A and B are shown apart, each in its own frame.
Chain A
Amino acid sequence: MALPSLGTMSSLAPLAPLPSLAARPSAATPADGFGRVLQGLLAENGAAQVTADEAVRAVATGEAQDLHTVSLAVAKADLSFRLILELRNRLADAVSEVTRMQV
């Protein structure tokens, strides 16, 4: 069986040009995304931590009116911190899943 000579083969189609970088939807306004939500939560948690700190200091200095106020403030700070921690863990898990993705 006779092979066609290489010269008769149609030339390869040229590669399509890459879409220019500028045409991509620029990684738009990262401040609007999850980061801002997390920052807002962190600020709130900071306020809760400050309240808990003040409550504990009030106990230490003998100014506290009730013990349960202190316990509740500390529990609130603890819960809100753990909420943020769990959210952060989920985000970190998602990121590491993406980095492990097979290409």
Chain B
Amino acid sequence: MPFRDLFTASGISGSGMSAERLRMEVIANNIANANSTRSANGGPYRRQDVVFAEVLGKATGPGNLPGLLGVEAVERIEDPSDLPIIHSPGHPDADANGNVRMPNVSLPTEMVNLLTAARAYEANLKAAQTFRQMNEQALTLLRS
């Protein structure tokens, strides 16, 4: 299977791009739910984050090191930090004292995370482009 090994690098970059795309989805979900006082598990929406892990293949080749297969998102966690409380007696989710617990999403943080995800995606894209360029340059060796 000669080609499968030839293009491992593009697969690794692809996994990185998929992971960053998922991160961007989670951040977009955080921003969209910045004011949601109800969520699937009862209370107000909690900010979410993704956990990435390295993917390794079976050990082959020199040094018997595990093969490199990129990254994958393994978990989506909720931020356990305190929920801000605002006073809004007219709110349907207000407690007896008129206080409403709001999501712990902070928009500036989410914006910075969004920027980080976009830049990381770009970095993976650049790696894939460079890999392609390297291959094209190697192909010019065959031209007389």
Q: Please indicate the chain A residues that have their CB under 8 angstroms from the CB of B143 in the complex.
A: 86, 89
- The range of chain B's interface size is 20 to 34
Let me know if B13 and A80 touch, CB within 8 A: no
Picked from A69, A75, A90, the residue with its CB within 8 Å of the CB of B18 is: A69
A101: shortest Cβ distance to chain B, in Å? 17
Task: Closest B residue to A69 by CB, please name it.
Answer: B14
Q: Which of A12-20, A25-33, A37-45 contacts B (4 or more CB under 8 A)?
A: A37-45
Let me know if B3 and A75 touch, CB within 8 A: no
Asked if B29 is at the interface of the complex by the 8 Å CB criterion, the answer is no
Let me know if A75 and B142 touch, CB within 8 A: no
Let me know if A86 and B3 touch, CB within 8 A: no
Asked if A72 is at the interface of the complex by the 8 Å CB criterion, the answer is yes
Q: Please indicate the chain B residues that have their CB under 8 angstroms from the CB of A48 in the complex.
A: 3
Of listed A41, A65, A72, residue having the most chain B CB within 10 A: A72
Q: Considering the chains assembled together, what is the distance between the CA atoms of A66 and B135 in angstroms?
A: 24
Q: Please indicate the chain A residues that have their CB under 8 angstroms from the CB of B13 in the complex.
A: 72
A54: shortest Cβ distance to chain B, in Å? 15
Q: Considering the chains assembled together, what is the distance between the CA atoms of A83 and B10 in angstroms?
A: 16
Query: At the interface, is chain B mostly helix, strand, loop or mixed?
Result: helix
Asked if B112 is at the interface of the complex by the 8 Å CB criterion, the answer is no
Let me know if A76 and B18 touch, CB within 8 A: no
A→B interface (CB under 8 Å): 40-41, 44-45, 47-48, 65-66, 68-69, 72, 75-76, 79-80, 82-83, 86-87, 89-90, 93
Q: List 24 A-B contacts (CB under 8 A).
A: A44-B2, A44-B3, A45-B3, A47-B3, A48-B3, A66-B17, A66-B21, A68-B17, A68-B21, A68-B128, A69-B18, A72-B10, A72-B13, A75-B128, A76-B3, A76-B7, A76-B10, A79-B7, A79-B136, A80-B7, A82-B136, A86-B139, A87-B142, A93-B144
B→A interface (CB under 8 Å): 1-4, 6-7, 10-11, 13-14, 17-18, 21, 125, 128, 132, 135-136, 139, 142-144
